[in-house]
Chains A and B, each alone.
Chain A
Amino acid sequence: MRALDELVGRAEALVRDNSLPSVRRWKEATGGAAIGYMPVYVPREIFHAQGVLPVGIFGGGENLEIIRGDAFYQSYICHIPRSTIELGLNGSYDVLDGMIFPAICDVIRNLSGMWKLQFPAKLSRYLDVPQNFDPAIGGGFYRKELVELARELHEHGAKPYDAEALRASISAYNENRALVRELDALRRREPWKIPTSELYVVLRAALLLPVEEATPLFRDYLGLVRAESSRRPLDQARVLVCGSFCEQPPLALIRTLERSGCYIVDDEFLQIHRWIKGDVATAGDPLDALVSAFLDDAIESPVRYIGDRAKGAELVARVRASSAEGVLFCAPSFCDPALLDQPMAVKAIDAAGIPWTAFKYAENNGQFQVIREQAGTFADSIKLWSGV
């Protein structure tokens, strides 16, 4: 088997195994604590600095049979909380010493309370992030949240907070994020070299590994795709996929979009890799550096208040920067942040003259024929009619 196929296959196997084997191995080897976190962003550097493995929890995907999870949620609530509860109850997450629930929406917020009641012996923490971006107001609040988080991690077996260790962790994650930026840049330039379905499993597997393994994984993958000479450009439409930042689409859906004639040149999957746009400062107080990065250097997102800035402007800029020819609004069913944001984003995209289409999914969807036809028609229309 070629090295590239072997690497991607190994990543996909990790992603598909909901029992978190890499986390179990890491715990056996180190004796450290592992804490899961839900989308979209947590400051992983703090966990790492205190010897904790941060573990990305992104739902159960298409192969998990939901038995008990549906008894916790009404039919009109999205799928990710029910698969998360299912995996908690069936023992898959026994290896985790706790869970962090960042402020995304009311469903994930309330899941934090459900977790407290269901798993009282474990750490269950809601991480409130500021919607006020004044350093003295929102910044001050967020810094105290981070201090409190560090204290709670220590209470649950982690090393105590240490500024020097945090600086080192920030450096480690800066290197990791820089490689993601490099991969993204290569995908924008030569999307045939990095199919998004492949990049996705590599990026997602990395969230199940310590950063010391994730960074070499990215470096290896980057080297292998650069060296790969058999991948040739096809006459596909370049699209940006928008709205899939929390509950993730089934991998088969991403592959369906590619097979329907689309190169995905930008997306919102696994946003934690791209939430902070540049490097976090390594000089000065490291908590202040994390706060500043969150306040001033984070991407726009439907879960983040944008104040007086124009809604959709950053999305239009991303379309331009990635030379995308169209936008696929691809949101999970019943996702409040994505679906409430979508009409405003559509308006901006329309005003900029960018073609778009929209559909919804759930993480456990298994049939994609309708989406394949829709995306295929969209790609064809771009190739045939754009610029005419």
Chain B
Amino acid sequence: MPRSDETPATALKDDSQLQQKTMIAEHYRRLARVALTGEKNVYTFVPGNLTELLRSFDLLPVLPEINALQSAMRGKSRDYIAIAEKLGHSEDVCTYVKCDLGMMKSGNVGPTGEPLPKPDLLLLSYTGCFTFMKWFEILKAEYDCPVAMLHVPYQADGRVTESMRSYVVKQIREELIPTLERISGRRYDEDRLKELLRNSARAEDDLVFVLESAKHRPSPIDAYFGGVYYIGPIFTAFRGTEGAVAYYRALRREVEERLAQGLGPVTPDGELKNERFRIVVEGPPNWTSFHAFWRMFADAGAVVVASSYTKVGGVYDTGFRHDAEHPIETLADYCMGCYTNLGLPARVAMLTRYVEEYRADGLLVHSIKSCNSFSAGQLMILREVELRTGRPCGFIESDLVDPRYFSAANIKNRLESYFQMIEQKRAGGVS
């Protein structure tokens, strides 16, 4: 059976990538030891994750989406998905769900090769994705554990109303916090939460600096493929921790140094020295052929200068920071502000702004079969951004973690055509 074409051992990484890899691996090892340490864990989702709140109760977050993408990068997702489909899960639905279920049925072995613990609580942070609700209903039946639902209203009109905020705040204050007290055996400690939120804001400052460094020419970072490493700690289990603060400070220094030296981003094959194309990407990456996908860009001299995927676990570049003075309200605002919780007009406006502010050559939509939250409406987004910016937009398709839907030749052809289109546009004198 064909396997992932990944060769991560040979891919070059900069120091920050190695550092975040170490952090995440240590977190998985800690999860594997909970039977010995007695620590409790909570499964939850990346968008709308309440990591600071969980950490304030000494609860360890587990992110099933991250487990799924890790499984894909390790070449395991094909078999996991097959297990779920044999159990009756449709080929039409989200492959993250099926990969996670297949992993669970195969012993729930995490990326470090050690088994992950069963959840003490499923925190259904229902933010920006309908599938989350079904996912945790499925897991609830499998694990027979409690579920805490946090319903986060959708920003259809691109704004958070007092009614929406109050709804989320009440759920956190009156339902979630008592549940976390019961699960953890600890009382809610607002001072501790505030301390964690202050750490979050510090890390968020540095993350925004890093992401916005791509406005320079040449960009010192790749804000999509490289970006997924940069968002790793803050989108997963570490927001609010001293470790995250240290990581983002170190990452910022690394990027500042690259800026000072006029260096391009680090790709799997080393530094990209000739920035030919500056692209904004909409949609998540493919994880089964992540490095091969990245190389298609790097080989063409294409750098992703901004992406929507790096906003899926929080939008910080419009000014939002976790506010320790209003700890529950700020968590509510954070949840409602995640990218996939924004209405399409707001998404179009954000991507248009990225194309213009980052002086990009155009927008490329990477459409994911599995993810209707992202994908439904992307063809319209593409046309709107093209209309508003006058810059060419391109479209490719694959999947998150199902290797059956990654057609390398097809994607490469389309990318080559897209880059040619940009060149033709340039030759025509259009910026």
Contact = CB atoms under 8 A, between A and B. Distances in A.
A344 interface: yes
A62 to B, nearest CB: 20
Interface residues of B, number: 51
Interface string A62-81: 00000000011110110001
B206 interface: no
Contacts, number: 154
A116 B155 CA distance: 13
Given A132-B149, A137-B167, A302-B134, A110 B88 contact: no
B379 interface: yes
Interface stretch (B14-22, B124-132, B263-271, B313-321): B124-132
Interface of A: 71-74, 76-77, 81, 103-107, 109-114, 116-118, 125-126, 128, 130-132, 134, 136-138, 140-141, 144-145, 148, 302-303, 305-308, 311, 333-337, 339-344, 346-347, 360
Contacts of A347: 141
Given A73-B376, A117-B348, A336-B134, 8 more contacts: A77-B376, A107-B376, A110-B344, A116-B344, A334-B92, A337-B130, A339-B90, A340-B131
A126 B88 contact: no
Contacts of B397: 74
Contact of B343 (A77, A116, A302): A116
A303 B88 CA distance: 20
Contacts of B378: 74
A131 B166 CA distance: 15
Contacts of B175: 132, 134, 137
A337 B89 CA distance: 12
Interface string B338-365: 0000011101100000000000000000
A138 B149 CA distance: 11
Contact of B151 (A107, A130, A339, A343): A130
Interface in B106-141: 124, 126, 129-131, 133-135, 137-138, 141
B49 interface: no
Given A136-B170, A343-B87, A343-B88, A114 B154 contact: no
B330 interface: no
B149 A336 contact: no
B429 interface: no
Interface in B380-412: 380, 384, 397
B428 interface: no
A194 B231 CA distance: 58
Contacts of A305: 124, 126, 133, 137, 149, 151
A95 B94 CA distance: 37
B369 interface: yes
B345 A109 contact: no
A113 B133 contact: no
B70 interface: no
Nearest to A347: B141
5 contacts: A111-B376, A126-B156, A134-B175, A145-B163, A302-B134
Nearest to A104: B130
Contacts of B372: 77, 105-107, 110, 336
A346 B380 contact: no
A264 B58 CA distance: 53
Contacts of A128: 153-154, 156
B4 interface: no
Given A73-B379, A137-B170, A113 B141 contact: no
From A71, A76, A333, residue with most partner B Cβ within 10 Å:
A76
A340 B344 contact: no
Interface of B: 87-90, 92-94, 97, 124, 126, 129-131, 133-135, 137-138, 141, 147, 149, 151, 153-154, 156-157, 163-164, 166-167, 170-171, 174-175, 343-345, 347-348, 367, 369, 372-373, 375-380, 384, 397
Interface pairs A-B: 5 shortest CB-CB:
A113-B344, A126-B156, A340-B134, A141-B167, A131-B151
Contact of A112 (B93, B149, B343): B343
A109 B130 contact: yes
Nearest to A113: B344
B134 A114 contact: no
Contacts of A72: 377, 379-380
A134 B175 CA distance: 10
Given A114-B344, A340-B93, A76 B369 contact: yes
B24 to A, nearest CB: 28
From B87, B135, B157, B348, residue with most partner A Cβ within 10 Å:
B157
Contact of B134 (A104, A333, A337): A337
A137 B171 contact: yes
Contact of B93 (A103, A126, A336): A336
Contacts of B164: 141
Contact of B377 (A114, A302, A307): A114
Given A307-B149, A341-B134, A77 B156 contact: no
Contacts of B94: 336, 340
Contact of B156 (A104, A113, A307, A344): A113
A336 B373 CA distance: 11
B93 A117 contact: no
Nearest to B156: A126
Contacts of A302: 134
From A71, A81, A114, A308, residue with most partner B Cβ within 10 Å:
A114
